[in-house]
Structure 1
Amino acid sequence: DESGTRVGPGDGDSELLLVRQHRDRYVLAVWRPVSGLSTWEWCAFDTEITASWYPDRDAVLIRQERHGRSLLHRADPVRRSVALVPTPPGTLLAAAARPGGDVHYLWTSAAHPPRMVSTAGTLLPPLGTVEGTVPGDHREVWTPGPDGPVHSLLALPDDPVPAPAVFLVHGGPADHDRDAYDGVVHSLVASGFAVVRVNYRGSTGYGPRWRHAYPDGVGLTQVRDLASVRADLVRRGLVRADATALWGSSWGGYLALLAAGVDPAPWRAVVAVKPVADCAAAHRAGTPALRALDERLFGGTPDTVPEAYARSSPVRHVSRVRAPLLVVAAERDDKCPPAQVRDYLRALAGAGVRHEAMWLDTGHDGYDGRDHVAVLRRAIGFLDRELRRSGRPGSRAPDRPAGHT
């Protein structure tokens, strides 16, 4: 795998700075029209990186995403050395080298909204973000797993634990949750919920082997990791066993729906925003890029490996769903098409599963501020009713007619 990160003039020549996946490492390389590709095997990292030249082109600034946090490095091609650029623990949303060796970066952590920082102490303008720190106790948890420990970011409310918990499931699957400010986490913790963000197998930031680990099948591996982390947090007395919910968007919404049917016992409520509900139907109606991703993950098309798609499709497991669901979908979604969501909702109604539906007049990524606030309010209200009905944390709601909208 190769990805270009910077094109610029060399010694009278053009060159392309590349990041290559080489064996189980990510390495820098330079390609020039005359000399071809030169791989810097001395500049290798165990997790994903991006890179760009310093202004004087005497060094390369490397940003590494590792275990939910960011690291900065300075690579010297003459000395063939790599040095760490000190930054606070957290996530760097952007970083750029400046003349004179200064580096400006946009830093955040789970407890701190983003702010601009200079390694040389240059005064930078403030950002128009939330002021102060995020409420709650922010920490990390490692849970033993068959392919290595599963890393989670945990935010506990100020109220005593164990607390009702919401598992925020990231999308992708080639992505990861970061030690970074998240407005949804802020809102949930301020509302008295614990928030768990799990970097399940398939996530980036933990190396190529973790990213490609799907031993139980697409989605099924990730469902297993979510349940394992939940059980671990219950054992530790941090979250309530009878008051845990799932909330995911896109691929995360797909995993939330899949978990609700494949492994229904742990979950008391589920929020799925713009999800895949039927893998085969979504493949047939999806974009070429998403079809190619599906075929890589499943090992073929729905026609060549139909059972693989069926096993991993939430719609197949509707009859086993027990938790009430809030499904949010978009009328003009080309990544998680609306037709397959409607089929899933009809299947829920046919199975007598209590659920609510919310439709947005947007595409998959068309998410303006008003829609975001509307979904946030609807979801938090739904979770509050289902996990803390009548003031009793974790109590189950009385049955309502299926198909409630």
Structure 2
Amino acid sequence: MSSEAWRDRFRTSIVEDIRPCPGALNLEMVYAAGLSDAEVSIWNPATGENLRLPDLPPHVANPLPAADGSSVLVLHDEDGGEVGHLWSYPVDGKPVDLTPELPPYTLRGIDVARNGSAIVISTVTDEGFTLYHLADGAAHRLFRSRNEAWNSRISADGALASIDTTDHNPGIRRFAVTVLDTSDGAVIASVSDGPLAPVRGVRFSPVSGDPRLLVSTERTGFARPAVWNPRTGERVDVDAPELSGELVPLDWSDDGARLLLVHVDRGIHRVYEYDIQAEKLLRVPHPDGAYFFPEVACAVTNQWASHYGPGGQIRLLRQRADLPFDVLALDRGESEPRSILAPEAVVAGIPLRSVSVTSKDGTALQLWVAAPHGASGPVPLVLNVHGGPNLAEVGGYDPVAQAWLAEGFAYASLNYRGSVTFGRTFREGFWGAVGDRELEDVEAAWQWLVGAGVADPAAVFITGASYGGYLTLLSLGRLPDLFAGGFAFIALADWKLAYDDMHPALQAAWRSFLGGRPETAEERFRLSSPMTYVENVRAPVLIYQGRYDTRTPARQAEEYARRLRAAGGDVLLRFFEGGHGPIGNEGVVGKFELELELARKALREEPWS
């Protein structure tokens, strides 16, 4: 493939999310990364019509459809900084600020009543974590706490709301679920499985008047679904002891009789239904691939997820490393799903395979890996570490990974300790010693890739975004002999400087993970910061940062680059005009083009700066 052919992978819009519109209509919202910015449309699977919404604000992330597809809800912020107000953008008509009377906030939860009567949002400001009920043109406060409280949900008829809270266990991110009456904010009930086992709300029953809430609990140490009635206390747990790994709840059928679940075992997805009345797990036929993408640090529970359509139809949102979004439909009684929204035509790619790696202390890790066509021995390799940390690499479509492979580089992506869908112990494995266990996992992945003959040990590059950018910089300082270069995107370089500048929602999270505030956990902040190890860095470094990012702010990246230069390091700092990541393909293309040029320079032993 020619040196420019990788660009073909970015010449079409890339679908990133498809969500059902609340209400009785058979409509879905489609969110895509377009050539220059996000694209949002309302799709009718029955007719194939796809109505594009014009005039959305720039930097749109995590939009949500309102009732019956009449509008799309987005956080309208300044320059992608994730602090602003929730706006409604109608298919026809003028956009409206839904909370004009509130101070600017970060959004950490949003849900729409199925009957269209109300919206609930979880906001974070310096005042704390607040649950608001938006109805009749006003925002009514239902709940507020200084402790972390995220992930708002609302019942089908708008009568009940839920929020995940930590008031029972302040400062520790293991949630319980509290359900409130939306008419007056009175607490109906709470559900907790004790101090060690978090419970999170997923979705209320879609049946009007049915108060049952689908939750995810980790009382076994791994995610399992439960259906809980906050009015009666009745609870149905789906323990599924025959399944290893996690059983992640995604959705209810529209009659409230079945649940849609994904079994995740060592990173591999298998879809199930659960018949509540019959108490029976039913395997759903489907091809291999990823069927949801977990998200715990934004306004939505999953970046995208398979779900039910009308009449109990299962809509399987499927991705694979070499295959963009493919929407498959499976009606009751059918034995094979059929495609109802074919993936975009893209240049043929290479699938990633899942392998097991053992870390220093014996912990089992999962690694996705692929070699370029024609590779018969070790080649240069790009090792990706995902963000979060409480996210996961699911092996979904990634045109950047395919571009590296097309250019002759092997590619690997690691689920390190801190990743979700591998159990509570694994997810919490970095608590109190941020960076230590993750770097043991990075080193184990490097050793496996070199030992298996995939990677040239002198030509391994590490890359990552957000927390992955943090681990990139930390690896370069604490594992200086392993990497030929590092590409740190929207990276965290110094915990103290970043904490001072980041928005309150992130401050609360990192107080939990690091064990306190900078003044009470000073040594941990120092030991966990890449800034502490700049004098050890030997490889060249690219830092690509958003000017208005409130998660990984600009000041700390600038100071890291300054100190690394003063220590004689080879560092290139670039800013883009935006927040926590560019949205459109053009920004991704520019970033990859620069990284590819720098990787080739490193292989020729030429400096980056």
User: Could you tell me how far 1:20 is from its partner in structure 2?
Assistant: 1.8
Partner of 1:97 in structure 2? 308
> Normalised by the size of structure 1, how large is the TM-score?
0.90
Does residue 355 of structure 2 align to residue 141 of structure 1?
yes
Q: Deviations over 1:274-296 (max 9, x none)?
A: 10000111112112121111111
Partner of 1:392 in structure 2? none
Does residue 325 of structure 2 align to residue 114 of structure 1?
yes
SS at match of 1:25: coil
Task: Please point out which of 210, 217, 235 is paired with 1:38.
Answer: 235
- 1:363 is aligned with what amino acid? G
8 Å CA contact 1:42–1:80 kept in 2: the answer is no
Q: How does 1:252-291 map to 2 (within 5 A)?
A: 252-291=468-507
Does residue 291 of structure 2 align to residue 76 of structure 1?
no
Does residue 60 of structure 2 align to residue 60 of structure 1?
no
Distance 1:30 1:139, change over 3 A: closer
- 2:327 is aligned with what amino acid? M
CA distance in 2 between partners of 1:311 and 1:368 (Å): 36
CA distance in 2 between partners of 1:296 and 1:287 (Å): 15
Worse-matched range after superposition: 68-77 or 362-371: 362-371
SS at match of 1:166: strand
Figure out how many residues of one structure are paired with residues of the other and give that number: 392
User: Could you tell me how far 1:183 is from its partner in structure 2?
Assistant: 0.8
Partner of 2:201 in structure 1? 4
Q: Percent same amino acid at aligned positions?
A: 27
Which structure's residues are more often helix, by fraction? 1
Task: Please point out which of 519, 525, 550 is paired with 1:309.
Answer: 525
CA distance in 2 between partners of 1:166 and 1:318 (Å): 22
User: Could you tell me how far 1:255 is from its partner in structure 2?
Assistant: 0.3
8 Å CA contact 1:170–1:176 kept in 2: the answer is yes
- 2:213 is aligned with what amino acid? L
Worse-matched range after superposition: 107-116 or 322-331: 107-116
Q: Deviations over 1:153-182 (max 9, x none)?
A: 001001322110000110010011112211
Q: Deviations over 1:180-213 (max 9, x none)?
A: 2111101100010000101111111211111111
Partner of 1:394 in structure 2? none
Does residue 516 of structure 2 align to residue 300 of structure 1?
yes
Partner of 2:401 in structure 1? 185
> Normalised by the size of structure 2, how large is the TM-score?
0.61
8 Å CA contact 1:48–1:64 kept in 2: the answer is yes
8 Å CA contact 1:19–1:51 kept in 2: the answer is no
Does residue 352 of structure 2 align to residue 155 of structure 1?
no
CA distance in 2 between partners of 1:20 and 1:236 (Å): 38
Structure 2: 5+ residue runs without aligned partners?
Answer: 1-197, 293-304
Distance 1:39 1:283, change over 3 A: farther
CA distance in 2 between partners of 1:216 and 1:103 (Å): 41
8 Å CA contact 2:261–2:274 kept in 1: the answer is yes
- 1:148 is aligned with what amino acid? T
User: Could you tell me how far 1:123 is from its partner in structure 2?
Assistant: 5.1
Partner of 2:218 in structure 1? 21
Distance 1:279 1:130, change over 3 A: farther
8 Å CA contact 1:142–1:152 kept in 2: the answer is yes
Does residue 560 of structure 2 align to residue 336 of structure 1?
no
8 Å CA contact 2:201–2:215 kept in 1: the answer is yes
CA distance in 1 between partners of 2:312 and 2:227 (Å): 22
Distance 1:48 1:354, change over 3 A: farther
User: Could you tell me how far 1:131 is from its partner in structure 2?
Assistant: 3.0
8 Å CA contact 1:247–1:270 kept in 2: the answer is yes
CA distance in 2 between partners of 1:329 and 1:124 (Å): 39
Q: Deviations over 1:353-388 (max 9, x none)?
A: 01112110111144333222111111111112213x
8 Å CA contact 1:171–1:251 kept in 2: the answer is yes
Task: Please point out which of 424, 438, 443 is paired with 1:208.
Answer: 424
Partner of 2:285 in structure 1? 86
8 Å CA contact 1:201–1:210 kept in 2: the answer is yes
Distance 1:399 1:223, change over 3 A: same
Distance 1:37 1:171, change over 3 A: farther
